[in-house]
Amino acid sequence: MELTTIWFILIAVLWIGYFCLEGFDFGVGMLLPFLAKDDTDRRVMINTIGPVWDGNEVWLLVAGGATFAAFPEWYATLFSGFYLPLLLILVALIVRGLAFEYRAKRDDAKWRRNWDIAIVVGSFVPALLWGVAFANILRGVPIDADHEYVGGFFTLLNPYALVGGLTTLLLFLSHGAVFLALKTDGPIRHRAGTLASTLTAAAVGAAAVFLVWTQAETGTMGSGVAFLAAAAALGAALVATIRRREGWAFLGTFVAIALAVAGLFLALFPDVMPTTLADGAGLTTTNAAATSYTLKIMTVVAVCFTPIVLIYQGWTYWVFRKRIAAHHIPTAPATDPAPAAR
């Protein structure tokens, strides 16, 4: 197998890891105003992802870095053509990270409420725009013979891409609700389990439309198998949510997202960014790749360090595996009484 193909697969694996792990982070953030009744509930929800959300974002950083090093032409065309949506995603992720860090810095209801809004918006924007971006990569965009994107921002807002954005949005909402049902106890667990059934049913409908559309437009036999398996996993997740089997439901949404993303990359290969122009030149794993020497060095580095990262992140999830409930949240310390006058 050629190194270009190996690195295409590795980048696909990195995106699968990112969407499966960061997906429930986005879902929890978006569900904050719908499942929490008071500040204690909001703290419970945020604490379910508190120890892991920043580690989950490492998958995105590594995916971007791997794309830059292994396929520099793909990286350059993608980031120049998708500049505005990717900038919006980046700003949303920054604001969301600040909200997690600064929310508890002041004991003020308005302060916390404003940061809660930042968490919701910072989760919603990437959840929607990642689907829009990947749908456009699959569908193809106007790229000229010099590998330059010649479309505009509204070129990316086509019906197929919007359906893709709606699909990722609903999948992440469902994934997040199931995760909350799995990780919490008490009233939030009950509310999350109830909402998860509705959201998973909606995700099934949106995913069916998007995956069938994708298969009809650019699908291969491999992508078709992956999409069917993803549909089966999402259907099993729906059954599990109805029966309140949180562990199986989370496994179902996790596997469904993984298989769906794998199917998208199978449908894309060997292209990495096809063109819609008759006189244009699309990007493939061959003409967008770095030199063979660069790929060899990167492969050695990946073989050495990837297992360490996986072991560390797996250990983190194991340490913070227990459920969280309202009684685990410490109350705010009482204000010290004024000293007695002397």
HEC assignment per residue over 173-235: HHHHHHHHHHHECCHHHHHHHHHHHHHHHHHHHHHHHHHHHHHHHHCCHHHHHHHHHHHHHHH
pTM for this entry: 0.92
Q: What is the mean pLDDT of the chain?
A: 91
Domain that holds residue 256: 3-324
Q: Is residue 197 part of a domain?
A: yes
Three-state DSSP class for residue 275? strand
The fraction of the chain above a pLDDT of 70, given in percent, is: 97
Of 96-100, 130-134, 141-145, the poorest mean pLDDT is in 141-145
pLDDT, tens digit, for every residue of 288-307?
Answer: 999 999 999 999 999 988 88
- Token look-up 């069938």 returns 212
Q: Is residue 341 part of a domain?
A: no
Q: Report d(CA 49, CA 308) in Å as an integer.
A: 22
Q: Is residue 336 part of a domain?
A: no
pLDDT, tens digit, for every residue of 40-88?
Answer: 999 999 999 999 998 899 999 999 999 999 999 999 999 888 999 999 9
Amino acid occupying residue 125: V
Amino acid occupying residue 200: T
Give the per-residue pLDDT at 335. Answer: 40
Provide the CB-side half-sphere exposure for 166 (13 A, CA).
17
Q: Is residue 269 part of a domain?
A: yes
Pick the more confident residue, 165 or 305: 165
Largest alpha-carbon pair distance within the chain? 89
Query: 3-state DSSP helix/strand/coil percent for the chain, to nearest 5?
Result: 75, 5, 20
Amino acid occupying residue 183: K
How remote is the C-alpha of 37 from its chain's centroid? 26
Q: Is the dihedral of CA 61, 67, 68, 73 positive or negative?
A: negative
Q: Is residue 337 part of a domain?
A: no
Judge contact between 230 and 256, C-beta under 8 A: yes
Q: Report d(CA 153, CA 132) in Å as an integer.
A: 11
Q: Report d(CA 130, CA 161) in Å as an integer.
A: 10
Partners of 283 in the β-ladder: 273
**What are the strands, taking DSSP E only, across the chain?**
271-273, 283-284
Tell me the pLDDT band of 332, cut-offs 50, 70 and 90: low
Q: Is residue 330 part of a domain?
A: no
Structural domain total, the chain? 1
Q: Is residue 168 part of a domain?
A: yes
Q: Report d(CA 99, CA 102) in Å as an integer.
A: 5
Q: Is residue 294 part of a domain?
A: yes
